[in-house]
Structure 1
Amino acid sequence: MPRISHHRRYTRNHTWHLDVAGWPLFVKANPDRAEARQELTGHAAIEAYYPIPALRWVGAAGPWAVHVFDRSLYRDEGGSLLVDEISRAETTSDCARLDLFLDDVLAYYRDTLLSTARHIPAGRVVGKLYGDRLSEGGRVDQYYGQGSPWPLLPGGVAPADLRVEVNGRPSVVDLPSIVERLRADFATDRRVWAAISQGDPTDFNIGWSPRSGPVWFDYDTGGLNAVAGELACFLMYQVLHGPWLTPRYNRDAYMDHPEALHRSVFRRPRIYAEQTDTGLAITYAFEPGPVRAHVVGRYLTEVVRPVATALGVRDLWAWLRPYLIARVLGVYDITRLDGPDVALSLALLAQLADDDVSPTVPFPCFAITSTGANR
């Protein structure tokens, strides 16, 4: 008798566990047919390169596209997602198991990026997280194109020619100019380093088990992705989205991962903003926790720097920066965040858009070159 259990909802998608004659399956229903088709395309594009669950059936139920995959990560066999391993390490102060996870995942990740890297026009890469969002009428226009004030001070703040002082450094935030610059960076005829990847390397999309090793999930961004975008996505998730914005604004995603909401893991950055005679003064500091700093350190040392060196990238910060800015603007609508998070986003934009600011200013943990974890 088939058994259906473990219903979950992620944004508009619904998922279930399905067991048929002892065969564990994972069912995903998506109301967006175009997005569902892209997931099939992405799955096919990376299945020869990454360990991913087999796709067993594709169909429809009314307006819903339905995909059925093998269920390949078993908690009773020690399987876990990166979100679970980071949470476990933060709450126990023990990185031993996390390091086993990272040993397998980062080596596989680096080697696959390098073995599939090619220099191609940006128009050939998967555009969902970057080029599509910055295109005319894309998500960034939808978020900010009407010029809505950002809810930071009474009456709001329009981020155009806005003078700010961030941690004591004067800056000017001109959002239209920042967007125009990003559109030039992501122009379809500009050549970029691309490689085969899952494309959205968040804590929920990378798994591991002691028996089977790494596994990747969620495929609508799978295929040829800009390497700098892949790296920036992972780094920004570890510093900003994973420890703060995602659990703050998408708490339902953590139904199966309650440890991630523990105060040692779920950390609001320190942030203070006040109006001055010349604009705004913002003071902030990221405090992602020692375990996330450790993850960032290993990722920089074992993936980012070796990949950049192999590809001949001379200025790593300039290479990553447009993609980091796009992650600030294009994931959450800043105009819908609460006041401190608006100030944090504004401070990040000011520093990331400043050519004279080094990566260790907004992200001190980017200075890590080696780690001394409990191994």
Structure 2
Amino acid sequence: MPLAECVPDLYLDRIRPGGRLDRWYLRRDLPLALPQTDTTLTLRELADFTLTVNGRQLTVNVAETIDSLRHTLAPDRRRLAGLTQGDPTEPNIADPLCWLDFEFAGRNTVAGEAANLLWYLMALGGWLVPRYQPDVYARTLRLALPPRSRPRIEHLELHPSSRHIDVRYSWNTGPGRTAAISSALDGLRGENGSGLEEIRAFLALRILGVIPPSRLTGHDFLLVLIKLTESQDPLTTLDTFFSTAPAPHPHPGERSSNVPAPA
């Protein structure tokens, strides 16, 4: 089915010229305050730097990525599609069990739905939404507990003279999300061990198009940009992109303020 015949709000409306991605990323040169330094770079300046991220060479170029997405997600390009709920995320699961998004339900691409679910499990649900859109969970979930784990930049070293940045990060998720990611990947993984190619463009659009970058801290914005760049690297597989580290166990004396003490 041509992408133009699918529900437009999740993808085509966001990627079109003048749409959300243009407004958020291209109309002005966004600043990025590099964590663990006193330096702020714009996105255009960052594109002229090379990065070594967890031992891997990357270049972050958001404008180039958006241009590539417009080509890949052309309205007349045919995709495997079906009648789906439209946005498989926690706030859209009702009790008794019913998966439905009244805004986005309808004809949607299978690859887009997979990208939505995986990025929500990986980043949005346990990190970005509760941190930057807490009203979503407060409005839709009966028990909106604060996240106990999140991705972290462990080390960053800037080399201005060589225009290079060394970054080491860890991506921590809770055990429930880790198990859900593993189960979802089992269904997507191809015979050659990688099924990322099918969802690559939809994943990038999801990474860029949900939380306004102007609201993110420099630390969180850089992590988002790193995952965006990893998602578009042809050498990235499903397993490497969605690799997570176990969340650290809280100290026995620690207790969430949302959980009552034992009687």
TM-score under structure 1 length normalisation: 0.58
Give 2:56's aligned residue: 169
Displacement of 1:294 after TM fit?
Answer: 1.0
Give 1:278's aligned residue: 163
Give 2:195's aligned residue: 316
Give 2:40's aligned residue: 155
Give 1:269's aligned residue: 151
Whichever residue aligns with residue 128 of structure 1, its letter is D
Three-state SS of the structure 2 residue aligned to 1:267 is: coil
Whichever residue aligns with residue 288 of structure 1, its letter is T
Question: Is 1:232–2:111 an aligned residue pair?
Answer: no
Residues 91 and 136 in structure 2, CA contact (< 8 A), matched pair in contact too: no
Residues 43 and 61 in structure 2, CA contact (< 8 A), matched pair in contact too: no
Give 1:336's aligned residue: 215
- CA displacement, residues 255-283 of structure 1 (integer Å, 9 cap, x when unaligned): 36475434xx4422121433224322222
Residues 181 and 242 in structure 2, CA contact (< 8 A), matched pair in contact too: no
Three-state SS of the structure 1 residue aligned to 2:239 is: coil
Residues of 2 paired with 1:314 and 1:123: CA distance? Answer: 31
Once the two structures are superposed, the pairs formed by residues 1-375 of structure 1 within 5 Å of their partners are 120-153=1-34, 154-159=39-44, 160-209=47-96, 214-255=97-138, 257=141, 259-262=143-146, 265-271=147-153, 272-276=155-159, 277-301=162-186, 303-304=187-188, 316-364=195-243
Unaligned runs of 5+ in 1: 1-119, 366-375
Residues of 1 paired with 2:58 and 2:102: CA distance? Answer: 39
Displacement of 1:315 after TM fit?
Answer: 5.8
Change (3 A) 1:232 1:337: same
Q: Indicate the percent of aligned positions where both proteins have the same amino acid.
A: 34
Residues 260 and 266 in structure 1, CA contact (< 8 A), matched pair in contact too: no
Displacement of 1:314 after TM fit?
Answer: 10
Three-state SS of the structure 2 residue aligned to 1:156 is: strand
Whichever residue aligns with residue 300 of structure 1, its letter is L
- CA displacement, residues 85-134 of structure 1 (integer Å, 9 cap, x when unaligned): xxxxxxxxxxxxxxxxxxxxxxxxxxxxxxxxxxx111111121112101
Residues of 2 paired with 1:300 and 1:155: CA distance? Answer: 37
Larger Rg: 1
Residues of 1 paired with 2:58 and 2:91: CA distance? Answer: 35
Displacement of 1:224 after TM fit?
Answer: 0.6
Change (3 A) 1:169 1:317: same
Displacement of 1:349 after TM fit?
Answer: 1.9
Residues of 2 paired with 1:238 and 1:168: CA distance? Answer: 25
Unaligned runs of 5+ in 2: 245-263
Residues 182 and 322 in structure 1, CA contact (< 8 A), matched pair in contact too: yes
Change (3 A) 1:175 1:240: same
Residues 286 and 363 in structure 1, CA contact (< 8 A), matched pair in contact too: no
Give 1:45's aligned residue: none
Residues 282 and 347 in structure 1, CA contact (< 8 A), matched pair in contact too: no
Residues 151 and 335 in structure 1, CA contact (< 8 A), matched pair in contact too: no
Residues 112 and 199 in structure 2, CA contact (< 8 A), matched pair in contact too: yes
Residues of 1 paired with 2:132 and 2:43: CA distance? Answer: 23
Residues of 2 paired with 1:331 and 1:290: CA distance? Answer: 24
Whichever residue aligns with residue 174 of structure 1, its letter is N
TM-score under structure 2 length normalisation: 0.81
What is the aligned residue count? 235
Whichever residue aligns with residue 32 of structure 2, its letter is P
Displacement of 1:223 after TM fit?
Answer: 0.7
Change (3 A) 1:161 1:355: farther
Residues of 2 paired with 1:157 and 1:273: CA distance? Answer: 17
Q: CA RMSD in A?
A: 2.4
Residues of 1 paired with 2:72 and 2:95: CA distance? Answer: 35
Q: Which runs of 4+ in 1 moved over 6 A?
A: none
